[in-house]
Structures are given as structure tokens and as C-alpha cells.
Amino acid sequence: MNMKSFEKKNFRQIRYEDKKSQILKNAAKIFAKKGFEKATMEDVSNELLMTKGSLYHYIKSKEDMLFQCHMKALGMSIRALEETLNSDLPPRMKLHKAIIRHIEVITTEFVVGALRQQELLLPKHMQEKVIKERDKFERIFLKIFREAIKTEHSNKNNIKMTAYAILGAINWIPRWYSAEGKLSPTQIGEMMADYLIGKLESKG
């Protein structure tokens, strides 16, 4: 393949991925508004002024659409955590930053729309892939958490349970978060990080 053909193929792939991303963003918005069960492929195609046939060029089914929304949302969360883990921040500041970054991600319109729909609605083989990605996210968070705890005088018992309790508090935010609220995602993240880490230190 010559350079011109390669560039043409690469450009087509970029256009394909951009369109697919646009479809998933609109799907997540419609899922959030109508719920997965009531939303249809026609709703998404109409929103994008596409034919249903054109939509199937990018997405196989409504279940595939929800699956890809979940995978994209988890990918965003994992990348944010990996950037924090690989930063030069001190361990405690990494934990503080990890909480803020995660909240910034899960309050984006796309992730809110995706994560409000339970992966249990998906076929088993899709659920397993979503759970695998979620487990990867949790492993990275636990690594950041354990490193932070080592440098603090916090209670080191039941570290995993404490980390999951923090994640539970954070991951509930999309259920009540509103973009129309007075606080920005970063402000919410800072308040949550200060509170949650403060609770750890108070138990030291």
C-alpha cells in the first residue's frame, strides 16, 4: 500500500470513528431521557438525521449501542486514573486527584447517560466484557488508594472495603448530578475528595 492509499484509508477510519462517537453520545443522551427499554434505534437515527440502515453500518443493535456506551465510559474513567497513577504527585495527592478526575468524568453528559443504564440489561457475553473493564478500573483505583494509605496514619484494616466504600459514594453521583446545579464537577470533586480523605485521616 502506497502512502496516498494509506492516508486515504486512515482518513476514512477517522471519519468512521468520529461518526460512531457521535452516535454513541446521542444514544447515551436518549437512554438518559427515555430509558434503555423505551428508547429505539429510530430515536437515535432520527436525532442524527440518519436512516436506520445507515445507523446499522456503525451499530449492530440497541444492545450493542448500550454495550459500546458502557465500554467508552469505562475507557474514559480508566484513562483518567492511569494518567493520575503515572503522574509525579505524592501518593496522597494522587488519591485526591484520582477522586476529582473520576468525578469530572462521570458527570459528563455522555457518561451520565451511559451509566444510568444498568449493564444487567445486556446479554451475558457483553456483561462479562463490561465487568472486566470495570475490574480493571477498580484495580488501578485500589493501587492508588493503597499507596496513599501507606503514607498516612489512617486505619489500614479492611483497605479494600474502605476503597470500595469511597467508590460507592463517588459512583452514586451520576444518579443525582445535574449540570444545572450551582457547583461544577471539579468543585464537587474537590469537596468529595476533601471529605472522604478527611474521614480516613480522622480514623488514623
What's the confidence (pLDDT) of residue 102? 95
How many whole angstroms separate alpha carbon 170 and alpha carbon 152? Answer: 21
What's the confidence (pLDDT) of residue 8? 56
What's the confidence (pLDDT) of residue 192? 95
From residue 50, give the alpha-carbon distance in Å to each of 28, 44, 58: 17, 8, 11
Residue with cell 499507596: 147
Per-residue pLDDT tens, the chain, 204 aa: give them: 555 554 556 778 888 889 999 999 999 889 888 888 898 999 999 998 998 888 998 999 999 998 999 899 999 999 999 999 999 999 999 999 999 999 999 998 888 777 666 777 889 999 999 999 999 999 999 999 999 987 555 555 578 888 999 999 999 998 888 888 899 999 999 999 999 988 776 655
Residue with cell 457475553: 125
Tell me the whole-structure pTM to 2 decimals: 0.83
Question: CATH number of 61-202: 2.40.33.10, 1.10.357.10, 3.40.50.10860, 3.40.920.10?
Answer: 1.10.357.10
How many whole angstroms separate alpha carbon 19 and alpha carbon 32? Answer: 20
